């Protein structure tokens, strides 16, 4: 088992769907929330899941989609995989259809293999657009490190 700041909770075989709101628990028992933006996408690997993770922390679970604004992202959009739900690190709490206002204007990722900026489908962009992530599948440890750094909490050993 991985040593992370994100706490493992209830494991789920739920297949993430576009619009799913999920919670993540931190060591202080507060929650962060995320949202599935693309599911089973053609991102960096087949079946990639593009998620937003928001900066607001809560002491209890709430799934108010109006609070999930792309202006309040904690880290840049990130591609990941189902294992984070299967292992209980992400737990779906609601599903709300995405509206145009729920999305950043232009997704941007740095494609290390091709040394260029690309969109969520791997199509080249003329340059960097912030917030800009990495065009790769992120593991639990990488997501945990990015969240910890953004929140200013010590990284897990």
Beta strands (DSSP E) in 45-111 are 48-53, 78-80, 91-95, 108-111
Spatial separation of the C-alpha atoms in residues 3 and 16, rounded to whole Å: 24
- What is the phi/psi pair of residue 36, to 5°? -80, 120
81 with 49: CB under 8 angstroms?
yes
Residue-wise pLDDT tens digits, 15-46? 999 999 999 999 999 999 999 999 999 999 99
Q: Please state the pTM of the whole predicted model.
A: 0.94
> Is there a domain that residue 157 lies in?
no
> Is there a domain that residue 136 lies in?
yes
Q: Which residues form the domain of 45?
A: 20-151
Domain count for the chain: 1
Cis peptide before 14 (omega within 30 of 0): no
A 10 A CB-CB count for 48 gives 22
Residue-wise pLDDT tens digits, 38-71? 999 999 999 999 999 999 888 877 656 567 999 9
> Is there a domain that residue 11 lies in?
no
> Is there a domain that residue 76 lies in?
yes
């Amino acid at each position: 088992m991985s040593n992370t700041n994100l706490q493992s909770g209830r494991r789920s075989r739920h297949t993430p769907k576009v619009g799913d709101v999920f919670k993540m628990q931190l060591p202080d028992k507060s929650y962060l929330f995320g949202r599935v933006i693309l599911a089973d996408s053609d991102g960096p690997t087949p079946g990639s899941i593009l998620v937003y993770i928001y900066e607001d922390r809560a002491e209890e679970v709430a799934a108010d989609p109006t609070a999930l604004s792309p202006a309040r992202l904690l880290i840049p959009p990130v591609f990941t995989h189902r294992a984070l739900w299967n292992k209980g690190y992400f737990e779906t709490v609601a599903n709300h259809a995405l509206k145009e206002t729920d999305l950043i204007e232009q997704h941007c990722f740095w494609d290390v293999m091709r040394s260029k900026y690309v969109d969520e489908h791997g199509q080249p962009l003329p340059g960097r657009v912030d917030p800009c992530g990495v065009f790769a599948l992120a593991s639990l440890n990488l997501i945990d490190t990015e969240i910890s750094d953004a929140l200013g909490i010590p990284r897990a050993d």
